[in-house]
Structure 1
Amino acid sequence: MKTIYENKVKAQGDLVEEFGSVMLIFFGDNAPDTLKDYCHLIDIKKVDGEIKVGDYFEVDGLKAKILAVGEEAQRNLENLGHLTVNLSANVEDLLPGAIVCESLDIIKVEIGSEIKIVEE
């Protein structure tokens, strides 16, 4: 397995838990004021490869298989640090800037949490 993306959460908005463990929103420092309270803030970094179905999204070692990738997801992640991670397993909920992953009971994201995307 090859890690193609790695980052750490450096700050969080006050309302990040509004989506529970079903949706996680990551954004670089340039997050719009209207979204900032809902975001886990990260540095803007490039992806070393292509995010694709079958890869894994990981938070602090807990992995969820990627089931769908929106057409803007990688570009937004690399240019804005923005990625929405939908953990519903419902690929019909896919948005252009998002990935849909298998459903997990709970992912707790905190300041200092390490996020990764790993190729299968």
Structure 2
Amino acid sequence: MTKIFEATVLAVGPEAAGMITDANMLILFGEEAPDDLAEYCYKIDNKNLSGSISVGGRLLVDGVNCEITAVGSVVEKNLRGLGHITVSLDGSPQESLPGTLHVAPQAELELKEGTVIQLFA
């Protein structure tokens, strides 16, 4: 597999971990996240995507492997433009919203400042 994206978490919003626990999702946003959203987000330092995100690819979060099961129609555009995507941890084979990436994690995810997020195609 080829690495097409890598970012480091710069800041963790006070409600971000609760989104994983309560809603089974995490929200990534670039450094310019609006204040009203930033409290729910993991701010990342990069939005350079060098390839296409597709089903069967991999999202790695500090080495925890997550198979990509569905890709919303604007995931790539939003990641490149804003560093913003919602990652649903439900393993659904069908997209729910255009900006959502669905994955099936192999273990529980815990993100913190310094966490490395990678995408592989």
TM-score (norm 1): 0.91
- What is the identity, as a one-letter code, of the residue corresponding to 1:19? M
Aligned AA (2:5): Y
Task: Using the TM superposition, give the Cα deviation of residue 104 of structure 1 relative to its aligned residue in structure 2, in angstroms.
Answer: 4.3
Deviating above 6 A after TM superposition, structure 1's stretches of 4 or more consecutive aligned residues are: none
- Paired residue for 2:10? 10
* Residue of structure 1 equivalent to 2:52: 50
Distance 2:45 2:113 in 1: 13
Count of residue pairs the alignment pairs up: 119
Quick one: percent identity of the two aligned structures?
A: 37
Deviation at 1:94, TM superposition (A): 2.1
* Distance (Å, rounded) in 1 between the aligned partners of 2:6 and 2:118: 4
Consecutive unaligned residues in structure 2, runs of 5 or more:
none
Q: Which residue of 1 aligns with 2:19?
A: 19
Is 1:100 aligned with 2:102?
A: yes
Amino acid at match of 2:51: G
Q: Unaligned 5+ residue runs, structure 1?
A: none
RMSD: 1.5
